[in-house]
Amino acid sequence: MKKEDVPQDPGALGKVTKEVCYATDKDGKYTKALSSGWEVKINALDLAWEDIEERVKAAKQKVLNNEASPVLFFMERRLMDMTTIAAYTGFWRWQIKRHLKPGVFKKLSAKKIKHYAGAFNVSVEDFINMNVHED
């Protein structure tokens, strides 16, 4: 692709960052070029975010239906898995799996709840009540 043909389609990240691409200059040599977006990539990212939003909604509904604990909601909201949460909290993955159960979660100590709240970067109250404050 020629440097002047590098896509510059406006996207969600276009105002925040630019992507480095390699293109050919007027002499036919490869050079770096900045792109603010590409329509195909923008559409793919939008679909991915829609999927994530659906997973977050489903997790919240499970918590409201008493089928899961707030750990599941914040796990989906923060795009984390059990291994990542284990690294942040110091809990074993099997413990986190147990803490996903509402009955077990309700019996957790204040110290463990505080570990989770810290890992998800929310206050203890916001963690328990699933309150999210956008930055």
**Location of each CATH 1.10.260 domain in the chain:** 41-129
Tell me the pLDDT tens digit for each residue of 63-76: 999 999 999 999 99
Highest mean pLDDT (candidates 28-37, 38-47, 103-112): 103-112
What does pTM read for this prediction?
A: 0.76
Q: What angle do CA 88, 19, 53 make, to 5 degrees?
A: 50
CA angle at residue 22 from 19 to 25, to 5 degrees? 125
Average pLDDT over residues 120-132: 93
Q: What is the pLDDT of residues 71-123, one digit of tens each?
A: 999 999 999 999 999 999 999 999 999 999 999 999 999 999 999 999 999 99
How confident is residue 45, by pLDDT bands cut at 50, 70 and 90? confident
CB–CB of 91/69 below 8 Å?
no
- Considering the four listed CATH numbers 1.10.260, 1.20.58, 1.10.10, 2.60.120, the one that applies to the domain covering 41-129 is 1.10.260
Tokens of 43: 């559409």
pLDDT of residue 79: 96
- Answer whether residue 14 shows pLDDT above 70: no
By three-state DSSP, how is residue 122 classified? coil
